[in-house]
């Protein structure tokens, strides 16, 4: 079993035991065994990798074809387990006719709290997600970022032990991301188990202590950020540079030992390197000292698809 | 935390969401249309009263029970759960600590008073407009109208449990398949709720001299009641069983 829980066992650990999920003949998740404990765990994978299937199994919306998913001793499909779960789905629509406050209050009341507690919890959670001043606004008129925050609020309003967040940072501006990250850090400090999915490595990097990487419905890597990074650092990185004189820049870069190859298309230069930090330092030297004019540099390999490809290659070569 | 309180919240939420939806307006439009038709037709002024009863019963068979009742039923029955699926908001209910059967029960209980209320209220208003013949028709036919409304609501809830876009399918079913199948010769017409509704109306109206049209082979009213009750119970049972086990992947 892959164990991402810090202590040996916890009352509210989320446990997948040999979980396989088929949708007819199509496999959604293949033989997943892991335990997720307190703290923030990142779930990384490209579209169709099985992230949403995993989260739907964890939130009890789907039943596994084989194996079982539990929170502590409770099956996630049970009503009791849902009291311990907060789920923020990756859906664009909410109850559009409601205000944000009405939405969160209704979701809270559906947990069976008395009226005064519903009111107090709603106000507290809206404050926590930074939506108190916009709580009276109709959801139909809210931006994507505001909807994300209301969705997060409904997932938190009953103070769950396990929080499942499906792409929660999509559409949120950098300032908002910082606020949400801080909120999640605070919840993690209180001992909550938080599983956050994303298809962007950077989103997960800044948040998670532990990472699960899914690819083609399988768990292909897991561990701390440093462990995942170590796996990635052994793989070459593809970087695209837009420069005024890509040919002379390519010649200078090829003299640098860490560059494995260059490809020039008009003013675009694509470089494959096996040591990204040294490469970026070298580029900086060439721009500052060598007089090269570089307009844009971007890594083409930060998406989950590339990470998945790297990890797959690593698996095959080892 | 209290399960009963959660259920009551869901019931109230579902009822208000249906009541304040555009569906209420869409259902009331044909109701008003029929109101105007009855005003213009002047059933109450027809003589002798037997002729008025006959003409009003024919209106009830071909307009009220074939068109208005299915529209009222699908306006609320299909959308109670169907709108949650189409809007992808069902996930917010499925992840609350409410058993699935209670979610469906709340949706059914929210839609039944609206559908049946509009059906019976509009029927009563039409009967009052028609006069003494109308009042007689109300006392004879209201159980038939109620039975049909419940059967349609139950069937459309089953549609909503099975299909991702149930409203369009229910509309096609109610306005085309029901009418078409219900008027086919032979035993295939027994597949339509409308057939049992007509059997009830002709059966109950016979005591007042209502003649069954040539070519229509109805069944006795008592039998039609039982079959409508069976359809309602069967559809609801199937809906509960399917909803308990079905996995919804409506989200993108």
Summarised one tens digit per residue, pLDDT across range B208-239 is 888 888 878 889 999 999 999 999 999 999 99
Does B99 contact A at CB distance below 8 Å? yes
Query: What is the DSSP code (8-state) at residue B213?
Result: P
Does A140 contact B at CB distance below 8 Å? no
At A3, is the pLDDT very low, low, confident or very high (cuts 50, 70, 90)?
A: low
pLDDT for residue A161 is more than 90: yes
A107: CB partners within 8 A, 6+ apart: A154, A157, B92, B96
Q: Any idea which residue has 């170590």 for tokens?
A: A230
Q: Is A3 helix (H, G, I), strand (E, B) or coil?
A: strand
Tokens of B244: 């308990």
B160: CB partners within 8 A, 6+ apart: B77, B78, B79, B80, B81, B82, B85, B166, B239
Does B87 contact A at CB distance below 8 Å? yes
Q: Residue B1 is nearest to which of A52, A89, A113, comparing CB atoms?
A: A113
Contacts of B3 in chain A (CB under 8 A): 112
Q: Enter the pTM of the model.
A: 0.84
Does A137 contact B at CB distance below 8 Å? no
Does B41 contact A at CB distance below 8 Å? no
Summarised one tens digit per residue, pLDDT across range B159-170 is 999 998 898 899
- pLDDT number for residue A305: 55
- pLDDT number for residue A179: 86
- pLDDT number for residue B188: 80
Q: Residue B9 is nearest to which of A23, A83, A110, comparing CB atoms?
A: A110
Summarised one tens digit per residue, pLDDT across range A109-127 is 999 999 999 999 999 999 9
The nearest CA of chain A is from the CA of B169 a distance in Å of: 23
Q: Residue B91 is nearest to which of A61, A79, A106, comparing CB atoms?
A: A61
Higher pLDDT, B215 or B77: B77
Q: What is the mean pLDDT of chain B?
A: 91
Summarised one tens digit per residue, pLDDT across range B82-135 is 999 989 999 999 999 999 999 999 999 999 999 999 999 999 999 999 988 999
Report whether the peptide linkage leading into residue A209 is cis, meaning its omega lies within 30 degrees of zero: no
- pLDDT number for residue A306: 62
Q: Are the beta carbons of A82 and B91 separated by less than 8 Å?
A: no
Q: Are the beta carbons of B89 and A62 separated by less than 8 Å?
A: no
Strand A210-215's sheet: what is its strand order? A85-88, A162-166, A193-198, A39-45, A210-215, A218-224
Query: How many Cα atoms within 13 Å fall on the side-chain side of residue A90?
Result: 21
Summarised one tens digit per residue, pLDDT across range A146-155 is 999 999 999 9
Q: Are the beta carbons of A96 and B87 separated by less than 8 Å?
A: yes
Q: Is this complex scored with an ipTM above 0.90?
A: no
Does A95 contact B at CB distance below 8 Å? yes
pLDDT for residue A256 is more than 90: no
Closest to A23 in 3D by CA, of A52, A58, A44: A52
Closest to B10 in 3D by CA, of B100, B107, B92: B107
Report the chain A residue with the minimal C-alpha distance to residue B86.
A93
Q: Are the beta carbons of A95 and B89 separated by less than 8 Å?
A: yes
pLDDT for residue B18 is more than 50: yes
């Amino acid at each position: 079993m892959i164990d991402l829980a810090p202590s040996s066992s916890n009352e509210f650990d989320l446990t997948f035991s040999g979980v396989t999920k088929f949708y007819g003949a199509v496999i959604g998740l293949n033989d997943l065994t892991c335990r997720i404990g307190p703290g923030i765990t990142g779930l990384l994978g490209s579209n169709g990798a099985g992230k949403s299937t995993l989260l739907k199994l964890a939130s009890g919306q789907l039943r596994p074809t084989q194996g079982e998913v539990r929170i502590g001793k409770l099956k996630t499909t049970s009503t009791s387990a849902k009291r311990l779960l907060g789920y923020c789905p990756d859906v664009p629509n909410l109850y559009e006719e409601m205000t944000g406050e009405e939405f969160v209050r209704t979701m809270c009341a559906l947990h069976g709290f008395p009226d005064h507690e519903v009111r107090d919890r709603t106000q507290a959670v809206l404050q926590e997600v930074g939506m108190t001043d916009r709580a009276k606004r109709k959801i139909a008129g809210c931006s994507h970022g505001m909807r994300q925050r209301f969705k997060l609020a409904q997932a938190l309003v009953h103070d769950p032990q396990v929080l499942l967040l499906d792409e929660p940072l999509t559409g949120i501006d950098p300032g908002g991301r910082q606020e949400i990250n801080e909120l999640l850090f605070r919840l993690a400090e209180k001992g909550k188990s938080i599983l956050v999915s994303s298809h962007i490595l950077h989103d997960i990097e800044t948040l998670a202590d532990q990472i699960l990487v899914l690819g083609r419905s399988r768990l292909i890597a897991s561990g701390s950020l440093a462990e995942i990074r170590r796996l990635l650092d052994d793989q070459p990185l593809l970087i695209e540079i837009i420069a005024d004189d890509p040919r002379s820049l390519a010649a200078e870069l090829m003299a640098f030992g860490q560059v494995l190859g260059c490809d020039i298309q008009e003013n675009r230069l694509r470089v494959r390197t096996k040591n990204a930090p040294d490469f970026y330092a070298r580029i900086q030297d060439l721009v500052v000292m060598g007089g090269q004019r570089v307009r844009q540099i971007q890594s083409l390999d930060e998406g989950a698809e590339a990470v998945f490809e790297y990890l797959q290659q690593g698996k095959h070569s080892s | 935390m209290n399960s009963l309180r959660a259920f009551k919240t869901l019931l109230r939420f579902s009822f208000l969401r249906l009541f304040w939806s555009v569906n209420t307006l869409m259902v009331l439009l044909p109701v008003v249309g029929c109101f105007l038709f009855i005003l213009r037709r002047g059933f109450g002024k027809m003589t002798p009263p037997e002729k008025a009863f006959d003409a009003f019963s024919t209106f009830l068979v071909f307009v009220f029970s074939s068109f208005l009742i299915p529209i009222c039923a699908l306006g609320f029955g299909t959308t109670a759960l169907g709108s949650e699926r189409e809007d992808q908001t069902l996930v917010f209910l499925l992840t609350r600590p409410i058993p699935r059967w209670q979610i469906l029960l709340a949706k059914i209980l929210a839609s039944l008073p609206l559908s049946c209320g509009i059906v019976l209220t509009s029927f009563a208003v039409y009967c009052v407009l028609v006069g003494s013949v109308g009042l007689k028709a109300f006392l004879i036919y209201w159980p038939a109208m109620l039975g049909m409304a419940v059967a349609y609501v139950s069937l459309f809830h089953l549609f909503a449990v099975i299909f991702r876009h149930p409203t369009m399918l229910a509309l096609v079913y109610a306005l085309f398949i029901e009418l078409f199948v219900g008027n086919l010769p032979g035993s295939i017409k027994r597949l339509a709720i409308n057939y049992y509704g007509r059997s009830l109306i002709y059966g109950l109206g016979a005591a007042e001299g209502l003649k069954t049209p040539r070519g229509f082979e109805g069944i006795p009213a008592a039998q039609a009641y039982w079959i409508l009750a069976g359809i309602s119970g069967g559809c609801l049972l199937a809906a509960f069983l399917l909803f308990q086990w079905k996995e919804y992947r409506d989200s993108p």
